[in-house]
Amino acid sequence: MAGKKQFDIDTALDAAMIQFWRAGYADTSVDDLSRATGLNRSSIYSSLGDKDTLFVRCLERYATRYGDKYDAALSCAADRPLAAARAFFDITLERIADPALPDGCLVAQTVMGTPVLSASVAARAREAIGLQHTRLRAALKAGRLHDEAAESFATHLAAVNQSLAVMSRAGTSTEQLRAIVDVTLDALARTLAASD
Amino acid sequence: MAGKKQFDIDTALDAAMIQFWRAGYADTSVDDLSRATGLNRSSIYSSLGDKDTLFVRCLERYATRYGDKYDAALSCAADRPLAAARAFFDITLERIADPALPDGCLVAQTVMGTPVLSASVAARAREAIGLQHTRLRAALKAGRLHDEAAESFATHLAAVNQSLAVMSRAGTSTEQLRAIVDVTLDALARTLAASD
DNA sequence: CCCATCTTGAACCGATCGGTTCAAGATGAG
DNA sequence: CTCATCTTGAACCGATCGGTTCAAGATGGG
């Protein structure tokens, strides 16, 4: 209404999310967030909440944004389960390859910090991992995988997806990351073929 | 020579390693290390070095200790490559199941902290990941896997091994962790069988 | 032009950070 | 017992942490 301009909250949240994503909760100070968002220290508290609240908002934002993409990638699972799994991993691989985004994964980093994070934050990160597993299991069941195999592969695919976050930060090349998922996709392909 | 007693440096290093392993570098203060080791703040600096130096020592200790175990597990790779790979993962699974040790993995946690850690520390962690890959590739080649497959599977196995660190902190059960590696071992078994 | 409204920068708070110093105390050798 | 040696706890340092407050300034509506 008055005063200079209303800053764009979405843009600020994106910047904060990327900062947390890159450096993690412990290594991100409120001054870092101020620099990253371009917002004043007081503005952050007045419109984005304190550090803990803001972190949870960023975590939700991250989980929703990429959760939707994972859902979209898996949407063809009933018809072509292998292609769905490949598209699933492509979401992660493209995210890692994007120079505008950090390596790693905000959820993976948060989960790794479980012992020192607040219980609510740790629970929310665990929830995101659980959701990923549910998503994958549903997709694999939709593709003609029997319950047992769907359960195993859902867990395996979720884990391999998280491994990409670790390996990308270890300097592993795009080709090597692709090799990691290709072994998994081959295994899935053979299991799918065997159940025909 | 004089004074009360010479404290046991190995015991202190173990305690410091576990503290770093549990909480990570950023979330471990020198006071935490003092409490964990039972050593006085000044004693830490005088006999274990500053925080950065001590962390590197703990990282080396961790890499050596479990590196040796991984080597031992893989030693039968030439005769029974599949059993070797299974024994390799068992090292990690048993470590995670040990209630006296933290979940996760010091190397994985350090690699995830790459963007905010000193260059030398980050490089040392990357080195540990690279060594793991080398170790696995050599073992798989010793087992009758051709170069290309050995390279792919070495990368894949190293990644899946790291994924256990993430998933264990996400509250994944022992059975589910086992399912993750079983998918990988099945894939390896089929590839080994195919090359016969 | 004036005023109400919003943003901003800067200061301040208590707490904790990594790192250093040093006197007091405990010990074993002589 | 005495003395040299080593460890210990505590204090101190400057810096930074998360969090809060507030006066100054910028803006647009009337």
Mapping DSSP onto H, E and C, the string for A94-119 reads HHHHCCCCCCCCHHHHHHHCHHHCCH
Cα within 13 Å of Cα(B140), Cβ side:
29
- By C1' distance from the Cα of B27, the closest nucleotide is C17
**B5 pLDDT above the threshold of 80:** no
Question: Does A162 map to a domain?
Answer: yes
- Cβ-Cβ pairs closer than 8 A, A with B, add up to 138
Across B124-146, average pLDDT: 97
**B3 pLDDT above the threshold of 80:** no
Q: Is the distance between the Cβ of A41 and the closest atom of strand D smaller than 7 Å?
A: yes
The pLDDT assigned to B7 comes to 72
The distance (Å) linking the CA of B71 with the C1' of C1 is 83
Question: Does A169 map to a domain?
Answer: yes
Across B7-13, average pLDDT: 85
Q: Is the distance between the Cβ of B26 and the closest atom of strand D smaller than 7 Å?
A: no
Measured in angstroms, the CA of A187 and the nearest CA of chain B are apart by: 5
User: With bands split at pLDDT 50, 70 and 90, how would you rate the model's confidence at A2?
Assistant: very low
Measured in angstroms, the CA of A196 and the nearest CA of chain B are apart by: 18
Question: Does B2 map to a domain?
Answer: no
User: What distances in angstroms separate CA B185 from CA A25, A95, B41, B132, one per listed residue?
Assistant: 35, 28, 47, 17
From the list A104, A159, A179, the residue facing B160 with the nearest CB is A159
pLDDT digits (tens, 9 = 90+) for B38-93: 998 999 998 899 999 999 999 999 999 999 999 999 999 999 999 999 999 999 99
**A4 pLDDT above the threshold of 70:** no
The pLDDT assigned to A86 comes to 98
The number of residues making up chain B comes to: 196
The pLDDT assigned to B4 comes to 52
- Alpha-carbon distance of B4 to B17, in angstroms, equals 25
pLDDT digits (tens, 9 = 90+) for A36-88: 999 989 999 988 999 999 999 999 999 999 999 999 999 999 999 999 999 99
Which of B166, B167, B185 best probes binding to A when mutated, by most A CB atoms within 10 angstroms?
B166
pLDDT digits (tens, 9 = 90+) for A137-168: 999 999 999 999 999 999 999 999 999 999 99
Q: Which of residues 157-176 of B touch strand D (CB under 7 A)?
A: none
**A13 pLDDT above the threshold of 60:** yes
For residues A194 and B130, which has the higher predicted lDDT (pLDDT)?
B130
To the nearest 10 degrees (0 to 180), the angle between helices A51-74 and A119-142 is 0
Beta-strand (E) ranges in B47-162? Answer: none
Q: Which nucleotides of strand C lie within 7 A of protein CB?
A: 4-11, 16-22, 25-29
Q: Do B137 and B158 form a contact (C-beta atoms < 8 A)?
A: no
Footprint of strand C on the protein (CB under 7 A): A 1-7, 39-43, 46-47; B 1-4, 28-32, 41-42, 45, 50-52
**B149 pLDDT above the threshold of 70:** yes
How many beta carbons lie within 10 A of that of residue B18, not counting itself? 18
How many beta carbons lie within 10 A of that of residue B5, not counting itself? 5
Question: Does A42 map to a domain?
Answer: no
Could you please report the per-residue DSSP string of A149-180? Answer: HHHHHHHHHHHHHHHHHHHHHTT--HHHHHHH
From the list A24, A126, A180, the residue facing B113 with the nearest CB is A24
The distance (Å) linking the CA of B45 with the C1' of C28 is 25
User: What distances in angstroms separate CA B37 from CA B17, B65, B79, B106, one per listed residue?
Assistant: 10, 19, 43, 18
Measured in angstroms, the CA of B171 and the nearest CA of chain A are apart by: 7
Question: Does A184 map to a domain?
Answer: yes
Across B11-35, average pLDDT: 95
Question: Does B128 map to a domain?
Answer: yes
DSSP 8-state symbol, B114: G
Which of A18, A162, A195 best probes binding to B when mutated, by most B CB atoms within 10 angstroms?
A162
- Alpha-carbon distance of B102 to B22, in angstroms, equals 6
Determine the residue of chain A that is closest to B176 in CA distance: A155
DSSP 8-state symbol, B171: T
How many beta carbons lie within 10 A of that of residue B91, not counting itself? 18
The pLDDT assigned to A6 comes to 63
Opening angle at CA B125, ends B119 and B126, nearest 5: 85
Domain count, chain B: 1
Look up the CATH number of the domain holding residue B187: 1.10.357.10
Q: Which of A78-92, A172-186, B182-196 has the lowest mean pLDDT?
A: B182-196
**A8 pLDDT above the threshold of 90:** no
Helix, strand, or coil here: B192? helix
Q: Which of A2-11, A169-178, B125-134, B140-149 has the lowest mean pLDDT?
A: A2-11
Question: Does A168 map to a domain?
Answer: yes
**B2 pLDDT above the threshold of 60:** no
Domain limits at B154?
56-194
Question: Does A164 map to a domain?
Answer: yes
User: What distances in angstroms separate CA B25 from CA A167, A169, B101, B173, one per listed residue?
Assistant: 19, 16, 17, 26
Across B14-25, average pLDDT: 96
The pLDDT assigned to A7 comes to 72
- Alpha-carbon distance of B10 to A195, in angstroms, equals 54
Contact (CB<8Å) B187/A187: yes
Closest CA to B135 of B65, B77, B48: B77
